[in-house]
Chain A
Amino acid sequence: MTNENQAVLDVQKIRKTYGRVEALREIDLRVAAGEFLTLLGASGSGKTTLLRIIAGFETPDSGRVSIRGADMTWASAAERQIGMVFQNYALFPHLTVLENVMFPLEMRRITRRAAADRARAALDSVHLGVFGDRYPRQLSGGQQQRVALARAIVFEPSLLLLDEPFSALDRRLRESMQQEVKQLQSSLGLTTIFITHDQEEALVMSDRIAVMGGGAIRQIGTPAEIYYHPNSISVATFVGESNIFEGVPKGRSFYAASGAHFSLAAPTDCNRMLIRPEAITLSRASVPADPREANVFAAQVLDRSFVGGFTVYRVRLAQGDEVSVRAIAREGAIFQPGETLQLTVAPADCRPLTDRSAA
């Protein structure tokens, strides 16, 4: 194996069952140095089990976990040099903030003075330098979060694991913490695995996303790949809003069950198709269009909801399909329920779902 394509983390054919429940079935995953990878999935999808196996808190039934090329499948958590931030932070309440951050260094037999210096530097990097003598309970949720982060990176781990670290924070704080973590991660070049069930968070932060479900990785790719080219209904509906059509493909055409006909950018044999709500345009003026460049339908507005920067409309095509549309809310371009409009979708935005399995 050459050095440059050596992954920091290499997970091979990991299986885990609890009693008769298959928590993980044959997981393969490689994470490159400096990469920010997100495991995205609902609860019960297997993402937490996978994280615990990577961290060394659980052992797989079969398969292999290597870190920097060394087999760590059976190594204890302490031997793995992994920094982890827990969902509830798991700060030690009986130790001060500084002592918390010093803990992993002391466990590595670093002298108290050197440990204290490094811990202070780590606290500085999360802007908590002055809080070293406080106890965790005296800090706000966001500050506790940063202490947990400082504690996880202070010993320069080869891998950083973040287990839904933002779920306890309110929306505004969460967004600023997301940015801060992302910045810290890229400036330190930390290889990071992030767990979340929040698709927006995953899209914002990740280099790559692995969508998990039913103990398997459903799809893995960049946020754009996952968003624009989901391979299945489950991935499509989990990441972003979607309009799903079932029907029959025919070359570069797709005939929905209702009879609506769509032109596609490329021939397909998939019998499901996805259109993102923001890919659809509504207009009052009827513009004649080339069906190879645009799919045009007559549609009636059923209802609308104003969501800040954009408006979500529910419309019904003349053929009967109900479609949700997301349009930028420009004053004067707001449509009333009951209005009949022209609906346009580019063929390139009609995306066949390659996964043939049932949702």
Chain B
Amino acid sequence: MLERRSRTRFLRRIGNVAHHIFSWVTFLFLLTPLLIVIPISFSGGSYLSFPPESYSTRWYETYFAQDSWIDATILSLQVGVVATVISVAVGFLFALGITRGLRKWGPALEKVALAPMIVPSIVYSVSMYSLFSRLGLVGNWFGIALAHAILCLPFVVIVLTASLREYDIDQETAAMGLGASRLTAIRRITIPQIRPSLLSAAFLAFITSFDELVVAMFLSGTFGTLPKKMFDNIRLQIDPTIAAVSVMEILMVILVMAVLMRLNRANVGRLS
């Protein structure tokens, strides 16, 4: 009896340890590709090898020295910001609408707004190309921003409806009882309290657009966004400039994520 119990305990402990190891190996698997580009971005040689034979910052210099990289970056920032503004503005109103007035139809409408997530981006690109070529919008950066706004919308809607469903609507009611109009109540009371979610939504929308390749490839015509430039670069002349760009992108993501997590924690602390 005792022997059996200790055997069970032993097996359970083995299982436990295996679970630990498996999980952290998986996290390592998730992280490795991001870590590996760091040394490569500082390599001194002009072709890929690991570990690099010498170290330099020449690939960062290449990036900043070449107009084509800088132009592509600026274009992508521009498209990203506009797509973010459109999708967050429209998505926030939408989330308000389906969590307030349209409780009954809300879930169904929400699914409609999530549809762009499941349509393959290549399919969407082809359909948008034919629309935009008729409208003469191919090659127009604003056209790309509009198309990107559609792709960003599902993320914005998911984040904001979740946050608004959790938000205590009595707060808004109370503000109106104290003399605020609905609009003032939303501006002064609701928005400050869901600000972390608004920022998360904006961040998700921005990176969705900033990283998007396929739609930009079809709609950008002659000039290129940053992902398009990176894609061509990887395809044609795989040199470590791309690693330098990657490192900068990863740093940007980590930075923003850290800020968002801090904000969220501060907010959770304040509300509890």
Contact = CB atoms under 8 A, between A and B. Distances in A.
Q: Do chains A and B touch in the complex (CB under 8 A)?
A: yes
Interface of A: 55-57, 76-78, 82-84, 86, 88, 90, 92-94, 103-104, 107-108, 135, 137, 151-152, 155
A272 to B, nearest CB: 41
Interface in B207-265: none
A135 B177 contact: no
Nearest to B270: A93
21 contacts: A57-B173, A76-B181, A77-B176, A77-B177, A78-B176, A78-B179, A78-B180, A82-B177, A83-B178, A88-B170, A90-B170, A90-B174, A92-B175, A93-B270, A93-B271, A94-B193, A103-B178, A135-B270, A137-B271, A137-B272, A152-B178
B171 interface: yes
A199 B231 CA distance: 73
Interface string B139-175: 0000000000000000000000000000010110111
A93 B270 CA distance: 7
Interface of B: 168, 170-171, 173-181, 184, 188-189, 192-193, 270-272
B170 A86 contact: yes
A117 B33 CA distance: 60
B179 A155 contact: yes
A76 B171 CA distance: 16
Contact of B179 (A55, A90, A104, A137): A104
Given A93-B193, A94-B192, A56 B270 contact: no
Contacts of B181: 76, 78
Contact of A86 (B174, B184, B271, B272): B174
B178 A151 contact: yes
A93 B268 CA distance: 11
A213 B144 CA distance: 60
B177 A57 contact: yes
Contacts of B168: 88, 90
Given A90-B171, A92-B171, A135-B270, A107 B192 contact: no
A252 to B, nearest CB: 53
A127 to B, nearest CB: 22
Contacts of A55: 177
A356 B131 CA distance: 75
B176 to A, nearest CB: 5
Contacts of B188: 103
B174 A84 contact: yes
Nearest to B269: A137
- Top 10 A-B residue pairs of the complex, sorted by shortest distance between their CB atoms: A107-B179, A90-B174, A104-B178, A90-B170, A77-B176, A84-B177, A94-B192, A78-B179, A77-B177, A107-B180
Contacts of A56: 176-177
A87 to B, nearest CB: 8
Contacts of B193: 92-94
Contacts of A104: 178-179
A83 B189 CA distance: 18
B25 to A, nearest CB: 41
A262 to B, nearest CB: 50
Contacts of A94: 192-193, 270
B270 A137 contact: yes
Contacts of A86: 170, 173-174
A283 B186 CA distance: 67
Contacts of B174: 84, 86, 90, 92
Given A92-B189, A93-B193, A107 B173 contact: no
A77 B270 CA distance: 28
Contacts of A76: 176, 181
Contacts of A82: 177
A191 to B, nearest CB: 16
B69 to A, nearest CB: 42
Contacts of B271: 93, 137
A76 B170 CA distance: 16
A168 to B, nearest CB: 13
A56 B178 CA distance: 11
